[in-house]
Structure 1
Amino acid sequence: MTGTSLRSGVHVDYAPLIGALIRQAERISELSVLRVHWYDSAKDGVPDSQQQRIGELPKVKLRLGRFGMDRQQKGVDLRIGLDLVTHARNGAADVFILVSGDDDLTEAVEEAQVHGVQVILLAVPNTENKPHGISLHLTRAADGLEVLPPEVVDEAVEKFEMPQPTPLPQPVMVGPPAGHPQVTATPKDLVGLGRPGALRPSSPVPGYSVTTGRPPQVTTEYRDPAELAEQIDLVVGNVLTAFRKSATAEALAELNDNKPSIPRDIDKALLTDLSDRRGELDLSEQARHKLRAHFWKKYEEAT
């Protein structure tokens, strides 16, 4: 919908989406669905208004993890894995349809299969109607891989864009003192008036891992640097465009305040989209470093 995996860039109509997931699961398994487990994170484990509406839908059970100090999801993968294994051990279902591509779930899938159940992946389609963001390890472990029909996405998901701000005033001609050349004040100059350091030239900020807080070590040259640079530029451009169109004032402030760390949702979208574009399960440390550094470079250029 937006050319990126950035969650905040889309609005989802959850009732028809979950209804479509149920119908797809029943078609794949040839069985009636017991229930849908919907996993997400919530502040202090308390569902927000959207999550409450999802939990009130028929046959839907809301399963919430929490946010850590860095706004990273905590406990979601663990809950999915525990539910898979527990329900398989208890014989609650014969077939599990897993709508996820997360490599961290591979071991849980294999453990559930030990108890005699099937685990089938249901993937979101990309623009070529192929699975998007699915781990190869998870694919090998699962009993099958299906793709959600594109029309389901078209009907339930749409772009989300914040209202555009009022345009900045046009450049103002400033009358120079006698004997001095004419000076033009730009909108950027006007916005920056009174803000310390506002007119200083910007410079790229190195990308730091949201996990370690340190720049990754770059040890070897990438095999095809020109192709990598082109792909990184495209991915970063798409993510930034989607973020700017959907970001609230709070999200923009958080991004600037935490620089040079990249917020978890943006970092995940960058890594997922580059991995998907390159067809690689694991990006090299050099590719990750270049990707994060280029994000800040393009962000600074457009600010």
Structure 2
Amino acid sequence: MRSHSGLYIDAGYLIAAAATRLTGSSLRRGVDVDYAHLLADLIRLVEDQSGLPILRVYWYDAARDGVATPSQELIALLPKVKLRLGRVGVEGEQKGVDLRIGLDMVGHSRNGAVDTMYLLSGDDDLTEAVEEAQALGVQVTILAVPARTGGHHGISRHLILAADDLDVIDVGLLDASVRAASAVLAHSTPSPQVDIAQSQPSPADIARVLTVPPRITSAFDQALPVARSLAAHLQQNLAELSPTIEHVATKTFDAWATTASDAQKVELRNGRPSIPRDLDRALLVDLSGAMGEDTLSDAVRVELRAEFWDAVDRP
């Protein structure tokens, strides 16, 4: 039986990471992608590195109710490409994509369909699937999108440790197929760097102290200075974060506005203060990345959304 390689692509990671490198925002609509060219180049890359013909490219993405969009259908029509769809959750997040990737990797390893796997994803949840494929005799290489500051973009440390190799895709390969609109590129400056404290008080913690009924005895009097100190600390942290928050909010709006119609822009303003899910998710993901924090406090989220509307209102 002839040996083959397989390419497993997490489209959410690939496009969001490529968009971040070009525009500073992970919003996918901020970039235009020539999928036929991109996939042909990735197939060539895998075949050249593995020395094996590719069996198939598995393209994993999410869609509302699991129904393919027109662009996803076009990808499915490309030669040697298999479209695998998860769902879009209520908050705009992918659902079921990692599970499909893991099941396919393990299944193909068990069936002997491929001898070498290339996984284009950075998700920590795929670590166990990588290790199971290896236990079944398959080599697994992680393909990473290059970061704008050098190195790789968003690959889990556990995933790197588990894989047989890590290869960062050449910038030229991506630039040949993924382009940002000029309006987005005009604002594509590096995100401000800030020194984030290891921990900061939660607004909920402060609120619990500040809203204690006045009739509570001296315990409240003793706690009030602490609460005021925590509130001051929180305000100081927000002030330090302000340039980064403003930068992320502006980037995300610019990336969205580049491809939005006049009617969509009017709809966005008319829907205020509600922010569309894809926009809100991009805001939170990009700020988390800029801060190096997995969880954003309530106060930071409020400030981020306020800055977004400031960006919308700018002429």
TM-score, normalising length from structure 2?
A: 0.67
Partner of 2:170: 149
Larger deviation, residues 250-259 vs 85-94? 250-259
Distance 2:55 2:265 in 1: 38
In 2, the alpha carbon distance for the partners of 1:216 and 1:116 equals 51
Hey, what's the Cα distance between the residues in 2 that align with 1:271 and 1:256?
Answer: 22
State the 1:267 CA deviation. Answer: 4.1
Report the CA distance between 1:251 and its aligned residue: 7.7
1:108–1:21 distance in 2 versus 1, CA, 3 Å: same
* Mapping for residues 11-90 of structure 1, pairs under 5 Å: 11-90=32-111
Q: Distance in 2 between matches of 1:104 and 1:258?
A: 35
Q: What is the letter of the counterpart of residue 307 of structure 2?
A: K
Alpha-carbon shift at residue 150 of structure 1 (Å): 0.8
Q: Describe how 1:45-194 pairs up with structure 2 within 5 A.
A: 45-160=66-181
Unaligned residue ranges in structure 2 (runs of 5+): 1-21, 184-201, 207-229
How far apart are the structure 2 equivalents of 1:100 and 1:271? 20
Any idea what the Cα deviations from partners look like across 1:214-256, whole Å, max 9, x if unmatched?
x98568868x936544333322221122122223445874686
**Contact 1:85-1:112 within 8 A present in 2 as well:** yes
Taking a change above 3 Å as real, the CA distance of residues 297 and 285 of structure 1, as seen in their structure-2 partners, is closer
Identical aligned pairs, as a percentage? 48
Q: 1:93 is matched by which residue type in structure 2?
A: V
Shift of 1:13: 0.3
Q: Is the 8 A contact 1:129 1:150 kept in 2?
A: no
Shift of 1:47: 1.9
| Residue 244, structure 1, aligned to residue 244, structure 2 | no
Query: Residue 55 of structure 2: SS of its match in structure 1?
Result: coil
Residue type of the partner of 1:235? V
1:72-98 superposed Cα distances (whole Å, 9 cap, x missing partner): 332211111111111111121122111
- 1:236–1:291 CA contact under 8 A, matched in 2: no
Unaligned regions of 5+ residues in structure 1, if any?
163-214
User: Could you tell me how far 1:103 is from its partner in structure 2?
Assistant: 2.2
- Residue 232, structure 1, aligned to residue 245, structure 2: yes
CA deviations 1:234-284 (Å, max 9, x no partner) are 222211221222234458746864845x54433443344344444x3x534
Instruction: Say yes or no: does 1:298 pair with 2:307.
Output: yes
Residue 174 of structure 1 corresponds to: none
Decide whether aligned partners of structure 1 residues 296 and 272 sit closer, same or farther in structure 2, where only a CA change above 3 A counts.
Answer: closer
Following TM superposition, by how much is the alpha carbon of 1:131 offset from its aligned partner in structure 2, in angstroms? 1.0
Equivalent residue, structure 2, for 1:266 = 279
The structure with more helix, counted as a fraction of residues: 2
